[in-house]
Amino acid sequence: LFSLKPKKSLGQNFILSNEITKRIVALAGSLKDFNVIEIGPGYGALTREILAYNPKFLLSIEKDSSLVKHHEQLLNEHQGKYRIIEADALNVVEKELVECPVKVIANLPYNISVALFLKWLNNIKFFTNLTLMFQKEVAERITAEPNSKDYGSLSVLSQLLCDIKKEFDIEPKEFFPRPKVYSSVITVKPLPTPRFAVNLETLTKITRAVFAQRRKMLRNSLQSITSDVSTILENAKLSGDERPESLTIEQFCLLANNVIMR
C-alpha cells in the first residue's frame, strides 16, 4: 500500500479501515439492480466493498494512471461487472457511460469535491442516491441550516434539490496519508421535484452574490446583480434589512423568481 506516494495535487487520501468502507457502502442500500459510479478508487478499498454488495455494474473513474493498473486483479475477478477508466471526473458525462438506475458511492478527492457535487446537482435526477465522503467542513456547508456560519449558496442549492443527511465523521488517522482535517460521510437522496419552483441559474447567481458579501444587508448586496432592488424586495416580502444567512430556501427562491438580472 505504501510503495506508491499519493499525489497531493490530486487530493488523494486513501481509506485504511475495512470497517469504514463497510459502513459507507451499507448506507447506499441494496446495489443488486443498480449501476454504481465510484470516483477516485485509489487502491480499491472501497471498490472491493462495493463489488461485495453485488451491483449490476460498477464504473470507477480514476485520474491517476499509476493507480489504474492496481485494479487488474479486481477486473479479472469481476469480468463484465467492473470497469475502471482513466479520466477526470469533472469532464465525464455519466449518462454516456452508464444507464439508470445509478447510485454514486465515493471518497471524493478533496480538491474537486465541491465542483463535482455542483456538477451532479445540475443533473441530479439521473441519480437514485449518492453516498459521499467530503472534508468535514464541506459536509457542514452542504447540510447547514439558516442562521449558521456554514449556511451559504451550497446549502441552499443542495437542500432545494435533495434530502441530505450527515451520517458520521471519520478521524484523520483512518487515512493514508493522514489529512489535517476530519472527513464526513453524507447521504444524498434527490427529490422528485425541487422543493420550490425556481430558475436554478438565477438562484445560483443570487446566492453566490449575496453570500460573497454575507455581512451586508440584502438591499446592498443585491445591487451588484439587479436594478430596482426595492420592488424585488417588496415582491419577495422582505424588508432589505436581512442578511443572507437569515433567509430560508423558500425566501431565496421567491427572491430569484422576482429578480431581473442585470
* Numbered residues of the known binding site for S-adenosyl-L-methionine: 13, 15, 40, 62, 88, 107
The answer to whether residues 82 and 51 touch, using CB atoms and an 8 Å cutoff, is yes
The answer to whether residues 39 and 91 touch, using CB atoms and an 8 Å cutoff, is no
Q: How far is CA 170 from the centre of its chain?
A: 17
**Who contacts 19 (Cβ-Cβ below 8 Å, separation ≥6)?**
none
Phi-psi region of 83 (alpha: psi -120 to 50; beta: other; left: phi over 0): beta
The answer to whether residues 108 and 116 touch, using CB atoms and an 8 Å cutoff, is yes
**Who contacts 185 (Cβ-Cβ below 8 Å, separation ≥6)?**
23, 24, 27, 131, 132, 133, 139, 166, 167, 168, 170
The DSSP H or E segment spanning 174 is none
Binding-site residue ranges: 13, 15, 40, 62, 88, 107
